[in-house]
Structure 1
Amino acid sequence: MELEGLVLRGRAFDPVEGRVVVDDGEIVAIEETETDSDAIICPAFVNAHTHIGDSIAKEAGAGLSLDDLVAPPDGLKHRLLRAASTKEKVEAMRRSLRFMQRSGTARTVEFREGGVDGVRAIRDALDGLDIEATVLGRETVAAMEAGDGFGASGARDDDFEERRTATRAADKPFGIHAGERDPHDLSPALDLDPTFLVHVVHPEPHHLDRIERESVPVVVCPRSNLVTGVGTPPIADLCDRTSVALGTDNVMLNSPSMFREMEFASKVGGVPAEEVLRMATINGADLVDANCGLVEPGRDAKLLVLDGDTDNLAGARDPVRAVVRRAGVDDVQRVVL
């Protein structure tokens, strides 16, 4: 298979006119040559933090606080999940996953509620789709063993030492929410030696120093943080210290659109468009050792092809800024997964 157009190549997303050659699901070459195509070819997205289970309750809980919305065990999300049947949850998750796939997401890193049954439910929802998921089980060691790792709610909610030890022994990723509403759970979260932190809206200088010193990646979800009223993360400061990935968080709060998340992060985060595109692609892939996130030989051919001649994108002078700040689902020409 060959894809022609303007290729956003490598970690710098250098725009190169030419073609991407794919063989058996792998990018084998990028050939520079003149083409007649208006397409923009970039890596498909990695959504580095989702809670897809609450797809059953989109836009529920207007005006509630963060704790009232999502804090375990009795936040609105958890009560609605308990009340819904497995069939309802699987179908709702499947619809969200279909939208994510259609809008260019190759992989999601899912914090999966519901223990072992929750892990099985999202596996059922994924069945037959091309989008992939790194499923981080929650609540129990058994959920971690059934999934691809462990996703902790936060160090203030429980003692996760035993589950962290078991996850480390299984050689699986351990992610944890931290610094979302205040800085007080950041140090305890870092004490668990996590694979990555999620949110980090309120780091103090010593937290930033430690994150840098210990090379702990961070996943930011700025639209979610704005909706829940906790503020927005210091994206530029975090990018100066560590690898930062991008996630859309709870489907009940925001659509799982990486286009919308990139645009928002770019316009509030104070970082270049190239950095935001790395946050939405390779940085998320690196969290879970996925061989995607870049257009370069040897990588899996997880690619997003945009029509550069839509009414929205025609006339764009900077293709990377156009992808990050302007493009949307209507501009998607093809998703190769």
Structure 2
Amino acid sequence: MVSEKTLHGTILYGPELEVIEGYIVIKNGIITEVAEEKTSSGNIIAPCFVNAHTHIGDSVIKDPILGKCVDSYVERDLSSLVQPPHGLKHRVLERTPYSELVESMKHSVMDMIQTGTCAFSDFREGGLTGILALHEALRVYDIECRMFGRPKSIHASDDELRIEVENILTDADGLGMSGANDMDIQVLENIRDVAKRKRKTFAIHAGENSRSDVEKALSLSPDILIHLTQADNADLKKVADEGIPVVICPRSNFITGVGMAPVRDMLKAGIDVAVGTDNVMLNSVNMFSEMELLSKVFGLEDRQVFIMCTLMGAPVLGLENAGPIIERNKAKVMILNGNSSNLAGIKNPINSIVRRGRPDDILSVII
């Protein structure tokens, strides 16, 4: 049976987010027509968010103590929170029952959908079991996910490690490694080689709280780099020359106290930059919050911010026929109420969605 719907309103059209008044036609989940036409609708039809880096497994430990409090100031310790294998996150994940882990991830997935996200990528800890838990959490939701697993047995023999990685890659889209300082570089190279042979993605954190692991991460020829908060211009030139996309996590970097990623320099170097909310234990999955921060604190132009948080995630994650609102693309759109108490009277929808948009402005999400 053919499913068809027509949406009227102000449309953020195409790769440049051209603001037009008109309608879009969706047949069986595909955009078949976009046309300009006068309309009385106050709705805004926009591309959905792509949350390009998450850890939804740690949904089981939301908002932990971040460090020692001294004179009303919290001395934050990123390593004690998330560094494998003994960081707080990993200790909690190790003792969390499987059913509780799955249930907590379901809540985060639903929260993503409700806040306008149509696709996300997740770095899943816990080896093959972690990947299978994510599959189970996603079973009833129509949201695209790129799953990047990692082995549990990092001190196993080469053959045992290879077998574990191969098993993970049977059910995952690739590997998402913690960082080049967290494992022996030869082990990482072996893991990387398995991913490349399987034609799967190899992604890795780099330069989050120190640039000491950036060069080693680059030596692995990764497909995606996460953070690069401490990268200098020489690092960024190498990243740009190798055509490696970067996913930044602004709120996460602030709450862990590692600073601000050099986003302006990344863009100036020609790097493709997408955005993620990172660990659910530290931040909600609300991409509106990332946009407001990038606009008001980083000082980035609003259109660029919106592109990074929506359109750019699709090519970075390898999502096919996704991203901009154009004919023949998948219909992954959010419909916002331009007459809400928050958005009523706005003159520039892109500026306003980026600076003041909220989940409660969303009328519907089509994914």
TM over 0.5: yes
Gaps of 5+ in 2: 68-75, 152-163
* Contact residue 153 and residue 176 of structure 1 kept, 8 A: yes
Determine the structure 2 residue equivalent to 1:307.
337
* Contact residue 208 and residue 227 of structure 2 kept, 8 A: yes
Determine the structure 2 residue equivalent to 1:327.
357
Determine the structure 1 residue equivalent to 2:317.
288
1:221 matched to 2:242? The reply is: no
Q: 1:194 aligns with which of 222, 228, 232?
A: 222
Give the distance between the partners of 1:213 and 1:62, measured in 2 at CA: 37
Give the distance between the partners of 2:190 and 2:296, measured in 1 at CA: 40
Matches within 5 A, 1:68-107: 68-107=80-119
What do the CA deviations read for 1:228-287 (whole angstroms, capped 9, x no partner)?
A: 010010111111121000000000000011111111122222321111111111211101
Determine the structure 1 residue equivalent to 2:28.
24
Q: 2:299 aligns with which of 267, 270, 280?
A: 270
Deviation at residue 212 of structure 1 after TM alignment: 1.4
Give the distance between the partners of 2:291 and 2:196, measured in 1 at CA: 32
* Contact residue 22 and residue 39 of structure 2 kept, 8 A: yes
* Contact residue 66 and residue 256 of structure 2 kept, 8 A: no
Determine the structure 2 residue equivalent to 1:336.
366
Deviation at residue 326 of structure 1 after TM alignment: 0.8
Matches within 5 A, 1:1-337: 1-63=5-67, 64-139=76-151, 140-141=164-165, 142-158=167-183, 159=185, 160-241=188-269, 242-290=271-319, 291-337=321-367
* Contact residue 274 and residue 320 of structure 1 kept, 8 A: yes
What letter matches 2:126 in structure 1? G
Q: How many residues align?
A: 337
Deviation at residue 297 of structure 1 after TM alignment: 0.8
* Contact residue 137 and residue 146 of structure 1 kept, 8 A: no
Deviation at residue 146 of structure 1 after TM alignment: 2.1
What letter matches 2:169 in structure 1? M
Give the distance between the partners of 2:239 and 2:292, measured in 1 at CA: 26
What letter matches 2:250 in structure 1? P
3-state DSSP of counterpart to 1:184: helix
RMSD (Å), alpha carbons: 1.0
* Contact residue 197 and residue 217 of structure 1 kept, 8 A: yes
* Contact residue 52 and residue 317 of structure 2 kept, 8 A: no
What do the CA deviations read for 1:86-144 (whole angstroms, capped 9, x no partner)?
A: 01010000001001011110011000011100000011111111112110011251323
3-state DSSP of counterpart to 1:219: strand
What letter matches 2:328 in structure 1? G
Give the distance between the partners of 1:294 and 1:261, measured in 2 at CA: 19
Deviation at residue 165 of structure 1 after TM alignment: 0.9
What letter matches 2:244 in structure 1? V
What letter matches 1:143 in structure 2? I
Normalising by structure 2, report the TM-score. 0.90
Q: Structure 1 segments of 4 or more deviating over 6 A?
A: none
Normalising by structure 1, report the TM-score. 0.98
Identity of aligned residues (%): 42
Gaps of 5+ in 1: none
Give the distance between the partners of 2:277 and 2:169, measured in 1 at CA: 22
Bigger Rg, structure 1 or 2? 2
3-state DSSP of counterpart to 1:310: coil
